[in-house]
Amino acid sequence: MTLATKSVQNNHQSPLEVLSNLLADDMKAVNACIMDKMHSDVALIPQLASYLISAGGKRLRPLLTIASAKMCGYKGDRAHNLAACVEFIHTATLLHDDVVDDSNIRRGNQSANAVFGNEAAVLVGDFLFSRAFQLMVEDGSLPVLRILSGASAIIAEGEVMQLSSAHNMDTGFDTYLQVITSKTAALFAAACETGAVIADQDEQRCQALHDYGLNLGIAFQIADDVLDYTASQDKLGKSLGDDLRDGKITLPIIYALENATDDERAFWYSIFVNKKIDDETLPRAIKICEAHNSFKKSLETANLYKEKAISSLSLFDDNEIKSIFVDLCDYVIARSS
């Protein structure tokens, strides 16, 4: 274990906080770029965008871009604009997600669509998405444009796939994996790969950082899907049991269904197919998942992706950021246990 990771434990800081502190100057520049580029003379745009962007986001994805570039020895400032662009794509996705899911809470506050209306959330999402592309074009690297426009298309595909497979009890692990890889992990992968590309790394190292991001993203989303059942409302920053209400068959449910009794299967059917949900539903769902070790098994699966993420880093020499990247894998899973 390196000094850096020791200091994490000493200061009771999460690896995410350690990374934020280490890259504080860069993140200040990223934030300045975000604030600058979300400006528009149409007042509702910066109002709505800053409502979400300023409200307690962890900036995990732009941090990944900056950190990846740094780990590869990059010294310039292109990473700032591109990290902002990654955050814009993420924010646009969140805005549209909340409209699609009809969510009312995000990051512990009322969601943007709840405050400003679905119409504004859709359109400001479109604006941020376009602005992200303008930022990439300003940067001028076609390989980066290819990575980030590709990731954007994959995210949208993943979201549609999620919508198509909701309320479908036949959803198995493969479909689930494809959904979370597309809707979540693809942007983690693109964020990391972008850092490697601007640092002029060879194909193998760009791919390695892509793979790190991808597997970290998968572990992150599995943990998120467990948290949707196990977190305390305060900690989650959104409504507990949202996935159940939206009919999303996530990994804990897939595991619970594998060995379900007839009674349990009828219970899941009534939720996911007949959409019957009352105050008793969530506690009973949690109880059944616990009886089947579904949460534990989900986190074990997340751990497999954590291991893949870590092994992708083997190409890189040991250094402070690599060590934090390793810790980050544990952290995204540990949030939920």
149 binds a copy of itself (CB under 8 A): yes
**Rounded least distance, CB 22 to a copy of itself, Å:** 32
Among 2, 13, 57, 159, binds a copy of itself (CB under 8 A): 159
* Closest approach of a copy of itself to the CB of residue 83, in Å: 18
**How far apart are alpha carbons 107 and 158 in whole angstroms?**
22
C-alpha distances (whole Å) from 156 to each of 66, 92, 337 are: 24, 11, 30
Q: Does 145 engage in binding with a copy of itself (CB under 8 A)? A: yes
Q: Is 168 in the site for a copy of itself (CB under 8 A)?
A: no
Contacts of 40 (CB under 8 A, 6+ apart): 46, 127
Distance, in Å, from the CA atom of 161 to the CA atom of 179, rounded to the nearest integer, reads: 6
**Binding residues for a copy of itself, total number by CB under 8 A:** 41
Under the binding rule (CB under 8 A), the answer on residue 170 touching a copy of itself is: no
Give yes or no for residue 281 binding a copy of itself (CB under 8 A): no
Window 95-124: contact mask with a copy of itself (x via CB under 8 A): -x--xx-----------------xxx-xxx
Q: Is 146 in the site for a copy of itself (CB under 8 A)?
A: yes
> What's the CA gap between 62 and 237, in Å, rounded?
20
String of contacts with a copy of itself for each residue 63-102, x by CB under 8 A: -----------------------------x---x--xx--
Rounded Cα distance between 230 and 226, Å, is: 6
DSSP-assigned letters across all residues of 104-171: -EETTEE-HHHHH-HHHHHHHHHHHHHHHHHHHHHHT-HHHHHHHHHHHHHHHHHHHHHHHHTT-TT-
Footprint of a copy of itself (CB under 8 A): 40-45, 92, 96, 99-100, 118-120, 122-124, 126-127, 129-131, 133-134, 136-137, 140, 142, 145-146, 149-150, 152-153, 155-157, 159-161, 163-164
